[in-house]
A = this chain, B = another copy of it.
């Protein structure tokens, strides 16, 4: 008996079941890999290595005992190696590519799913022109069917700042009325806001993560920055109070900017926008979300 025999004798995963249940998704989660990614735009960031968290799944028919999980890792391994030679063009395209390999290597599967997330850094400029380097999260996902096409999702998570429009007016009224005292017109509570945008689209549509970050970052009361010397700090705080926003406003402004930025994208593209404020006046968070299609938004 050889090692090859052992492998085929012990293919417990491949055993037939009489009365099994099919499974929606079987795979591996929390796989960490460095992937070389090509980016348009800024020359100095044109090729970078992202430390990616990867989850991959396929479905499993009712008559098969197990999914061959090591094949998932072989696929990911190959993709990592390939990216060293030829950097991938966005982690959403990487996800789509892994998704197709999943269906090839798991011939019993009818669906493949891939989710990738990574830290991402990008240059920004403060109101007074100082260059900074800001931190973001990128998401790339794909869902592929054996009998159909692959759809992919590109996503970004951006941290910004919201100033509350309600508190601003309430304070002013309360001061006018003497319910509270002091020389504090126009003050409000403000706080860190985390906004996530995910766009699900046919595989041949290409969006640029940097554009999505721009859309989101311009929808806060103000963007935030790593370094703020005093004049810049004054500008950020003043800008935030000139643009007071609820979590609802952040979501709606991102939606509006998407419509304006992508007038020719097809109606069936799915958009998810989520804004969560780590409220400064509460121990809990405020939250708003919209999940919809571009078609619905355009009505």
> What is the interface of chain A, defined by CB distance below 8 A to chain B?
1-3, 5-7, 9-10, 12-13, 20-34, 44, 48-49, 51, 55, 57, 60, 65-67, 69-70, 73-74, 76-77, 80, 84, 119, 121, 132-135, 159, 161, 165-167, 169-171, 173-177, 179-192, 222, 224-231, 233-238, 240-242, 246-249, 251-252, 255-256, 276, 278-292, 297
Contact = CB atoms under 8 A, between A and B. Distances in A.
A171 B237 contact: yes
A235 B49 contact: no
A228 to B, nearest CB: 6
Contacts of A133: 33-34, 77, 80
28 contacts: A7-B229, A10-B170, A12-B165, A13-B246, A21-B290, A23-B252, A24-B291, A25-B287, A26-B247, A26-B248, A28-B286, A32-B284, A34-B133, A65-B248, A67-B248, A73-B227, A73-B284, A175-B234, A179-B234, A180-B238, A182-B242, A184-B186, A188-B237, A189-B236, A189-B237, A191-B280, A192-B278, A192-B279
B167 A248 contact: no
Contacts of A174: 6, 230-231, 234-235, 238
A141 to B, nearest CB: 15
Give chain A's interface secondary structure class. Answer: mixed
A95 B19 CA distance: 36
Contacts of A49: 48-49
A15 to B, nearest CB: 9
Given A182-B242, A187-B187, 15 more contacts: A5-B173, A5-B177, A9-B169, A26-B289, A60-B248, A70-B227, A174-B231, A180-B238, A186-B187, A189-B236, A189-B237, A190-B280, A192-B278, A224-B280, A233-B281
A29 B187 CA distance: 25
B280 A280 contact: yes
A233 B166 contact: yes
A182 B134 CA distance: 27
Contacts of A23: 248, 251-252, 288-290
Nearest to A283: B159
A21 to B, nearest CB: 5
